[in-house]
Amino acid sequence: MTTVQLIVKNNALYFPHGGTDFDKPGCPSSPELPTLLIRRYPAGDFDTVSWPLPRGKAKRERALRNLAYALFDERECNDLFPYDAVIELPDGTPFDAHAVLKHEFNEAAKPASDNGAEPEQ
């Protein structure tokens, strides 16, 4: 089983390889360059994941969701690591992106009344 430990650069989380040298257009990804982990949104906006993770439960959970989405994108779009790879945070803590995303999707699938919203009239 593959284990990948994320790295920190400029106070943000990076995947340790697969980055591109943007100063050399058309240059393929490199095993020596790290990849900034970003969560992309449909409107073109994005979020990075800072390290250390922010304090406070809501901010920390949002950062971990952003990290899970960023890892999902890198796995699906760039095939940087196998599905069964163990991802570790820079401090060595295992991070289960699949569990975070599964929880996120399960919460989104609940009826609005289960999420605390008022039922539609």
Q: What is the pLDDT of residue 68?
A: 95
**Integer Rg of the chain from CA:** 16
pLDDT tens digits along 6-26: 999 999 999 998 877 666 666
Q: What is the pLDDT of residue 20?
A: 74
pLDDT tens digits along 39-81: 999 998 999 999 999 999 999 999 999 999 999 988 888 777 8
Residue 30 has pLDDT above 80, yes or no: no
Q: What is the pLDDT of residue 115?
A: 56
How does strand 38-40 pair with strand 46-48? antiparallel
Residue 31 pLDDT level (bands cut at 50, 70, 90):
confident
